[in-house]
Structure 1
Amino acid sequence: MKRYLIIGCCFFSMQLDAQTKKVRFNEDTKQQKVDVLIDGKPFTSFLYPDNLEKPILYPLQTASGLTVTRGFPLNKRGNERTDHPHHVGLWFNYESVNGLDFWNNSYNIPTEKKSKYGWIRNVKVTEAKAGNNKGSLSYTSNWERQDQAVLLKEKTTFVFSGTDYTRTIDRTTTLTAQKDTVYFKDVKDGMLGIRVTKELELPSDKEESYTDNNGIVTKISPTNNGANGDYLTSAGKKGNDVWGTRAAWCLLSGVKEKVPVSIAVIDHRKNPGYPTYWHARDYGLFAANPLGQAIFSNGKEHMNLTLKPGQSVTFRYRVIITSGKNQTTEMLGKEALDFNK
């Protein structure tokens, strides 16, 4: 049974047995992290150490304490894939910004090739505001070349909330061009990415190879690790048919330790390229890329975003993690409606 409350101009769907929980933060500036706790239990940590090429949320846990993100490369787990070391937790970046690859940068890139990659550095936490129903965490950072020249200034705010069965992240990121005009080339790898636990991978019986725009090849072996995940979009696409299609939201669901778990990502109508294309792979990469339209549309569409000095662009996403109950298309439709208001 559900009740629907209208408060001001906002619409809320509330389950009677799922009251919102307190959100609080534990900040550790020495270790460059902020732990996020909901109802007194760990949900995730905002990590921005100097040895990472971007800030991330890692790991992501359900209300029942199950981890839905991959451990590698920060914490290897048994029978888990160790490909794509740049896939860590939940992140936001892009493959081609003024020719620099921010997406594929990691410790695994050879020193002689590092100049072709970008970093998101000089992260500063500007606010960590706890609350009884939600908590907000804000930071600033620089999208930089290897010589530390700044291409973009980033301002991001996370709003965290949770119930007995859900954990929700609303992310708002604004990028502002600095001294140079900034070009986001129309490419495959971007922008909001999550690398999921092995159980949420899709079953696969074939080996595949993926090449980044600098020629580095990664091979993916067939699945033999308990994968049982499946994708579903608001447009009705399922499984591997989701990749390269547009939709207002995408759901990845499966079972871990006999418990139904899922991750939903909801796009916002004000985002560039809405509804986004889904860069959703069977091996566990779950990403929304509104800017890489040429490859997804077989050349029928193009999206080369350009920011002149001082110009900004904003991206908004909602991520909902559920355990113990299945997210339905009706529920996600209402969540999308609420998010877009």
Structure 2
Amino acid sequence: MRNILLRGLMIFSGLLLSLTLCAAKITAEKVGSKINVTINGRFFTSYIFPEDEKYPFFYPVNGPLSGGSVTSMRNAVYPHHTSLFFGCDQVNGGNYWQEGLDRGRIISVNAQIEKQGGDSVVITDECIWSRPGALSPVKDSRKYII
């Protein structure tokens, strides 16, 4: 499972690197519970953080040439795979990876566009890892640079 996540992050990083090398104009717009990112006027990805999801995630992540998604939302074989996200299955008795909000979830409490325009967008977020009847084992600060 870890290898799949690492491969996904490598692909995502490679896509970002190839787009950055082209001196792209990258912009972002916060609309409700998501932040849409465009590169040279073309939609690239959304950082999605609604209250009813297991964790915040990026979907879709579009390729630089075709514009087609290189990620999937959910599928029957791996329903806990939600495009590109960061989570962990076992933390202090909670499960912050697989489906089921009652087993644990990661709640976005402050998703913001810190910087945009020019050759990058910076998205920051504060997240609380939570599950019913237990103290939060983790509070994290995230910084995504696209």
- Same fold by TM (over 0.5)? yes
- Structure 1 residue aligned with 2:71: 69
**Secondary structure in 2 aligned to 1:143?**
strand
Q: CA RMSD in A?
A: 2.1
Distance 1:46 1:155 in 2: 15
1:64-110 Cα distance to aligned partner (Å, 9 max, x none): 201101143xxxxxxxx422221011011111100211111347xxx
AA matched with 2:139: K
2:30 to 6, 27, 46: 27
- Structure 1 residue aligned with 2:5: none
May I ask how many residue pairs the two structures share in their alignment?
Answer: 127
Pick the structure with more helix per residue: 2
Contact 2:28-2:37 at 8 Å conserved across structures: yes
Pick the structure with more strand per residue: 1
Query: What TM-score does the superposition give when structure 1 sets the normalisation length?
Result: 0.35
Distance 1:59 1:126 in 2: 19
Question: Which one has the largest radius of gyration?
Answer: 1
Distance 2:145 2:92 in 1: 30
Distance 2:59 2:100 in 1: 16
Structure 2, unaligned runs of 5 or more: 1-16
**Secondary structure in 2 aligned to 1:58?**
strand
- Structure 1 residue aligned with 2:85: 91
Per the TM alignment, residue 148 of structure 1 is displaced from its structure 2 partner at its CA by 6.6
- Structure 2 residue aligned with 1:78: none
Per the TM alignment, residue 149 of structure 1 is displaced from its structure 2 partner at its CA by 3.2
Distance 1:19 1:157 in 2: 23
Contact 2:56-2:108 at 8 Å conserved across structures: no
- Structure 2 residue aligned with 1:159: 145
- Say whether residues 1:101 and 2:87 are aligned partners: no
Contact 1:105-1:119 at 8 Å conserved across structures: no
Distance 2:100 2:23 in 1: 37
Structure 1, unaligned runs of 5 or more: 1-13, 73-80, 108-113, 161-341
- 1:9-88 → structure 2 map (5 Å cutoff): 19-29=22-32, 32-64=33-65, 65-72=67-74, 81-88=75-82
Q: Residues 104, 23 of structure 1: CA spacing in aligned structure 2 closer, same or farther, 3 A cutoff?
A: same
Per the TM alignment, residue 128 of structure 1 is displaced from its structure 2 partner at its CA by 3.5
- Structure 2 residue aligned with 1:261: none
Distance 1:19 1:122 in 2: 32
Aligned-residue sequence identity (percent) comes to 25
Query: What TM-score does the superposition give when structure 2 sets the normalisation length?
Result: 0.78
Distance 2:133 2:34 in 1: 25
Distance 2:49 2:109 in 1: 7
- Structure 2 residue aligned with 1:124: 110
Per the TM alignment, residue 152 of structure 1 is displaced from its structure 2 partner at its CA by 1.1
Distance 2:60 2:132 in 1: 27
AA matched with 2:53: L
- Say whether residues 1:136 and 2:122 are aligned partners: yes
Q: Residues 121, 147 of structure 1: CA spacing in aligned structure 2 closer, same or farther, 3 A cutoff?
A: farther
